[in-house]
Chains A and B, each alone.
Chain A
Amino acid sequence: MFRDTLNTDMEAPENIRGFADYLFEQKDYLRAFTEYSKLTGFINDTVQFRMASALGEMGRYNEAGNLLNGLIGNSKVRTLALHELMKNRWLVQDFRGLRTLCDTLKISADAADKSCSPLYYASYLIDSVSLPGTGEFENAFPPGSRDFMKGMYERKIKKQYKSPLKAALLSAIIPGAGKIYAGQTSDGITAFIVSGLLGYLALDNFISGHDFRAWTFTGLGALFYAGNIYGSAAQAQIFNAGIKYNFQNDLNIFVREKNYFKP
């Protein structure tokens, strides 16, 4: 691992740097950052980039962003810093900031900057802004990712959401139908049985002349019938939240697997 340093100054910058690099490669980011921080006066672009990367891995994205902003001007790690900054903006869900950063840097003729396109276009799938054209969107991604991203684009367009109003109306006509429409079949059947049973009990008691019981069951039946309509609308909203959650989750997993489309 580390050479025997009985006769070497442990606080010498080259030793601290060597130890910090080792910790970084071992993914011990907190200790690596602490060691890099000791290099006051010897922090070059590479060290600053590694410090920012370590902060990003620890989830301290704002601090990482502050360090990276100083590297996307004229530095030898400019391209790496740019991609790391885009990854940070993706993780803090600042998608407009991500696109603004890319738009600002597209002004330059540097080919490496144009490689910010995949994450740039992927961010459109999560934001609520209008989507770019299909061709423009697909061509932004490398061949290995194109099919998946095309599928996500189509999922975004098709939007298999359920209407809460339609769910409520269905449940008003047939108790429980709205819940079945919103994806909860067993809840819908239960609501149908409960509303039906209370309605039957009310009717039966009215026919038998037991008015007090009949009105009690009528009240309970009305409450559960209204509750079923309300619950159907709520369930449709929860269904839509689930669609959105699963979509974002699938996209985040894919982007992470592709290492945020870093070159």
Chain B
Amino acid sequence: MAFSLPLYSQTEYEKWGKADISYTRKDPQHRAGSENPEKSFNLLDIAASAYSFFISDLDGDNCPFSPTCSSFFIQSAKKAGIFKGALMFADRFTRDLNPAKKDHYPFNSDFRLYDPVNNYLLQPHMIKFIPPTDFVND
């Protein structure tokens, strides 16, 4: 019976074995247009993919907001139309330029500033107010 124990217990060799590491980013939200990962011939998705490929992948994951500004534009254009989406994006970009913005927004689990699209659709019933500097599980 004593000899059968090692057959079932975890050996030191197994415990300290080489781990398979993957550097694939698991957070899809930094990629504009990742809301629709399947192939799409929608102009907006094509522009978003082009932006991700030519600019975002080279520039890196710099946006302090969640969703990122490019994702914000895609989501707002899909929810409210291209014109209103452009206005929402312009407002978001202006707010991003504000160096004193950290105290205006709650934080998500990635410590980014949580700023969802639904709060800016000019529909009061869609606004979900979260006090600034609170933490959000998104």
Tell me the A residues contacting B by CB distance below 8 Å. Answer: 164, 184, 186-187, 189-191, 194, 223-224, 226-228, 230-231, 233-234, 237-238, 240-242, 244-246
Main secondary structure of the interface of B (DSSP, over half): helix
From A194, A226, A233, B122 is in contact (CB under 8 Å) with: A233
Chain A contact residues, majority secondary structure: helix
Quick check: B131 and A230 within 8 Å, CB to CB? Answer: no
Please list 12 pairs of residues, one from A and one from B, whose beta carbons are closer than 8 Å in the complex, sorted by A's number. A186-B100, A186-B101, A187-B98, A190-B95, A227-B89, A227-B90, A227-B91, A231-B88, A231-B120, A234-B120, A238-B119, A238-B127
- B-side contacts of A246, CB under 8 Å: 131
Interface size class of B (residues with CB under 8 A): 20 to 34
Q: Which residues of chain B come closer than 8 Å to A186, judged between CB atoms?
A: 98-101, 104
- Is B54's beta carbon under 8 Å from chain A? no
Least CB distance from A222 to B in Å reads: 10
Bound CA–CA A190/B94 (angstroms): 7
B94 touching A230, Cβ below 8 Å: no
Instruction: Flag if B129 contacts A224 (CB, 8 Å).
Output: no
User: For window 55-107 of chain B, which residues contact chain A by CB distance below 8 Å?
Assistant: 84, 86-91, 93-95, 97-101, 104
- Which of chain B's residues have a CB closer than 8 A to the CB of A240? 124
Q: Which of B93, B101, B104, B119 contacts A234, CB < 8 Å?
A: B119
CB distance from A262 to the nearest CB of B (A): 29
Nearest CB on B from A187, distance (A):
5
**Given known A-B contacts A186-B98, A231-B120, A224 and B104 have beta carbons under 8 A apart:** no
Residue of A224, A237, A238 touching B94 (CB-CB under 8 A)? A224
Partner of B129, one of A184, A194, A231, A242: A242
Residues 101 to 133 of chain B near chain A (Cβ within 8 Å): 101, 104, 119-122, 124, 127, 129, 131
